């Protein structure tokens, strides 16, 4: 088994120490940092994402794989920056104001990072004005809004409306998600797309930036 295949296998197992060790070895062998990222860490997270989508593995397995991925990423980041390797795009995420639920959004962030995106997570209970300020400051390609409560769904509408008012709708794409949200609701409030789970959110974001 070559070193990148081994990296994929250990990331799938969620072994952060072995992933870090294999990443160091790949760097020592002068493999291109982008190849280690694409064919090792991202390839591994793609397998994890697909297995999670088909219910072959569950949330604890994904979190272990993510920890392993970050162990490799920490070693690669300085090299990628030095080489000027771009990410697939910047994504800002947040759970809307009035909602403190975070697990689903964190999982989306993990899967997006695993797919090669730069992710900035604003946390939970995020006010519409803060989302807009983040879009202005960070200039992401995509803004992701999450909620688990039907009572906070109107906040999503407010964020999308505020982006339009501020003239930002043409500069950033919006994706909404969470248990009470639907594709119909996304269309109704003027969001660009809807993700029904973490793996689907990665597909939708990828489509938005392609």
CB distance 208 to 193 below 8 Å: yes
The whole-angstrom separation of Cα 129 and Cα 198 is 25
194 pLDDT band, cuts 50/70/90, is very high
Query: Is 80 exceeded by the pLDDT of residue 20?
Result: yes
pLDDT at 112: 92
Residue found under tokens 């519409």: 128
Query: Is 90 exceeded by the pLDDT of residue 159?
Result: yes
pLDDT at 84: 80
pLDDT at 117: 93
59 pLDDT band, cuts 50/70/90, is confident
The whole-angstrom separation of Cα 69 and Cα 140 is 23
Query: Is 80 exceeded by the pLDDT of residue 170?
Result: yes
Over residues 76-107, the pLDDT tens digits come to 988 887 878 778 899 999 999 999 988 889 88
């Amino acid at each position: 088994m070559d070193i990148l295949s081994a990296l994929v296998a250990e990331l799938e197992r969620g072994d952060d120490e072995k992933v870090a060790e294999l990443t160091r070895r790949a760097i020592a062998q002068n493999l291109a940092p982008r190849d280690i990222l694409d064919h090792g860490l991202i390839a591994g997270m793609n397998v994890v994402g697909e297995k999670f989508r088909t219910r072959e593995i569950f949330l604890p397995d994904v979190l272990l794989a993510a920890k392993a991925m970050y162990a490799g990423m920490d070693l690669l980041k300085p090299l990628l920056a030095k080489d000027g390797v771009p990410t697939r795009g910047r994504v800002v995420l947040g759970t809307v104001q009035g909602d403190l639920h975070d697990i689903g959004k964190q999982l989306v962030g993990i899967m997006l990072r695993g797919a090669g995106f730069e992710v900035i997570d604003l946390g939970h209970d995020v006010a519409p004005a803060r989302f807009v300020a983040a879009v202005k400051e960070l200039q992401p390609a995509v803004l992701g809004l999450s909620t688990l409560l039907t009572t906070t769904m109107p906040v999503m509408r407010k964020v999308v409306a505020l982006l339009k008012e501020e003239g930002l709708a043409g500069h950033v794409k919006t994706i909404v998600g969470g248990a009470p949200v639907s594709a119909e609701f996304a269309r109704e409030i003027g969001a660009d797309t809807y993700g029904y789970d973490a793996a689907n959110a990665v597909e939708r974001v990828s489509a938005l930036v392609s």
